[in-house]
Structure 1
Amino acid sequence: MSLVGGDFPVQQSELAGAVAMVTGAGQGIGAAVTRALVAAGAVVAAVDRNPGPLAELADGLSGKPGEPGAPATAGPVHPYLLDVSDPAAVESTVDLIEGQLGPLTILVNVAGILRVAPAVELTDQDWADTFAVNTTGVFHTCRSVGRRMAGRGTGAIVTVGSNAAGVPRTGMAAYAASKAAATMFTRCLGLELGRSGVRCNIVSPGSTDTEMQRALWQDDATAAEQRVIDGDPASYRVGIPLGRIAQPADIAEAVAFLVSDRARHITMHDLYVDGGATLRA
């Protein structure tokens, strides 16, 4: 047995032989997903557009320096620089990954950005940038990897969405709409690829202790976290019934389950991991 992020016991050989691609792997949920898949035995192509966090992640999990885009080494994590909003770059990077590591059997879409503003004050650029990464980026990676998986008759895709895709949030119109679009795209993809043996699911986190979450906090972290747990009637936001904010490992554990054979009969599912915050509305 080994631990995912020091929190969860997993079977170390559960994903032995699997080759995974994780976008947004440099920090937060993406880094936790990478650790979870490595703990379960997978080889991971860790993809991000920021080289520094990628190198640190590869160093920590492989025990040696990782150079994004360099030829694959013997370690379990291989960093690749990629902006998922660039379709040509996605195609060439997927080709490179499969040439160096072997056929992809797992894709996890985590890359995302958040621009917060009232809907009528969002700029065109905020809207376009949000959809370019959160929605179109998912389309680019799923199209490229899904086509290959379908041809081989096997594979598992998970898109990390958000509970904001199912419940309106003040100040988060662009983010919520982009995540709702990515969620429905992933479900449609699962319907189309089901007979090819490819499963497509969504994990929808609620408030999670990441840099993106902390960027929303205006004061002391402890007080801000408690306000999230308690909820805010002024913004029509209920609290978290379980009384805690998620850790990235909580989300990663759900992803690891959905890409494993334990979930072999699950597809097109949207799994909320939010401590009950949306009351599953």
Structure 2
Amino acid sequence: MTLSIFDLSGRTALVTGSGQGIGLAIARGLAAAGARVVLNGRDAAKLDKAAGLIRAAGGEAVAMPFDVTDATAAREGVARIEHEVGPLTILVNNAGIQRRAPLEDFADEDWHQIIHTNLDSVYYVGQAAARHMIPRGYGKIINICSVISELARPTIAPYAASKGAVKMLTKGMAADWGRHGIRVNGIGPGFFATEMNSALVENADFTAWLTKRTPLGRWGKVEELAGAAIYLSAPSSDFVTGHVLYVDGGVTGSL
């Protein structure tokens, strides 16, 4: 009984941006809990390699590359998953990018790229998935937010704007779709050692600051996000919606 509420057997999960880093770690966790996982990104070779890792560990994984920043591609991609893989029960909107520069010097092109990738994709793929989930009366959507949904740092104001918007879009989705049995929540990672953060990880001064600022005193490991994703995907969280779960070593809870 206790373990069954975390069982994802027979469920199909789409994880965007899952060729590496946080997305792949979450996909591996969902697969280990029994879900059939669809990996999404733009790099087909990277997705195939990631799917191979999951299958080698005994999980089910399918690579499905499409551009989540394009509304038509998102709708067609979700429809293809429904037709070729199975009814989509779980969606994890993880695709995201980062660009750093002083705000007064930030390029318009970089601003738009961040908003398209970090925010528009959540709307496009979330809406496409919900249109299939609504007639079935059930679904789980997880949007990857950030501690930067709540906090800010110099040189990343557009990223903060995008992640703050994802937090509120999560709440809006929950308000609209709860009556259809769709639960929508967010995960807010803190500072994790990923490819996107490699420059910060290698910066000794930043790492020293971070370890002092974080109550648990270290960078996060991507596999430590899997438990939160399983919880929010499984029956264990059926009365949880509109919530952002921060997995951050205590950063948002301390000064």
Instruction: Give the TM-score range, shorter chain.
Output: over 0.9
Q: Distance in 2 between matches of 1:13 and 1:256?
A: 7
Matching of residue 269 in structure 1 with residue 243 in structure 2: yes
Which residue in 2 is equivalent to 1:253? 227
> Where does residue 233 of structure 1 map in the other structure?
none
Question: Counterpart of 2:43?
Answer: 50
The structure 2 residue matched to 1:17, chosen from 10, 14, 31, is: 10
Q: Which residue of 1 aligns with 2:160?
A: 176
Equivalent in the alignment of 2:209: 227
- Specify the alignment match of 1:196 in structure 2: 180
What is the CA–CA distance in structure 1 between the aligned matches of 2:61 and 2:5, rounded to whole Å? 15
SS of the counterpart of 1:215? Answer: helix
Given the two structures, how large is their TM-score scaled by the length of structure 2? 0.94
2:73, 2:245 → 1: CA distance?
30
Rounded to whole Å, the distance in 1 between the matches of 2:4 and 2:18 is: 22
Q: Which has the higher contact order (CA 8 A, sep 6+)?
A: 2
From 118, 139, 146, the equivalent of 1:134 is: 118
Q: CA deviation at 1:161?
A: 0.6
Amino acid at match of 2:243: H
User: Which of the numbers 61, 64, 84 marks the counterpart of 1:80?
Assistant: 64
- How many angstroms does 1:207 deviate by? 0.2
Gaps of at least 5 residues in structure 1 are: 1-9, 65-73, 231-238
Match of 2:200 in 1: 216
Residues 103-144 of structure 1: per-residue CA shift (max 9 Å, x gap): 100000111000011111111011000000000010000010
Preserved CA contact (<8 Å) 2:200 2:207: no
- Aligned alpha-carbon RMSD (Å): 2.0
Compute the displacement of 1:52 (Å): 2.5
Q: Give the superposition deviation at 1:63.
A: 3.6
Q: Deviations over 1:234-269 (max 9, x none)?
A: xxxxx1011121111112211111111111110000
> How far apart are the structure 1 equivalents of 2:202 and 2:106?
20
| Partner of residue 93, structure 2 | 109
What is the CA–CA distance in structure 2 between the aligned matches of 1:246 and 1:218, rounded to whole Å?
14
The SS at the match of 1:272 is strand
Give the aligned partner of residue 143 of structure 1: 127
Q: What percent identity do the matched residue pairs reach?
A: 37
CA distance in 2, matches of 1:218, 1:243: 16
Matched residue count:
253
Q: Residues 210, 218 of structure 1: CA spacing in aligned structure 2 closer, same or farther, 3 A cutoff?
A: closer
The superposition leaves residues 190-214 of structure 1 with CA deviations (integer Å, 9 ceiling, x where unpaired) of 1111111000000001100111111
SS in 2 for 1:268: coil
CA distance in 2, matches of 1:240, 1:187: 27
Question: Contact 1:12–1:41 (CA<8 Å) still a contact in 2?
Answer: no
**Partner Cα distance (1:169, 1:88) in 2:** 34
Q: Name the structure with the higher helix share.
A: 2
User: Superposed, which structure 2 residues align to 1:51-70 within 5 Å?
Assistant: 51-63=44-56
**Quick one: distance in 2 between partners of 1:63 and 1:167?**
39
Q: Is the 8 A contact 1:13 1:41 kept in 2?
A: no
- Paired with 1:280 and 1:30, the residues of 2 have a C-alpha distance of 27
Give the partner amino acid of 2:211: I
Note the residue ranges of structure 2 that are not aligned, 5 or more in a row.
none
Structure 1 residue 225 displacement after superposition: 3.1
> Does structure 2 retain, via aligned residues, the 8 Å contact 1:208–1:247?
yes
Contact 2:111–2:158 (Cα < 8 Å) also in 1: yes
For the 8 Å contact 1:12–1:40, the answer to whether it is kept is no
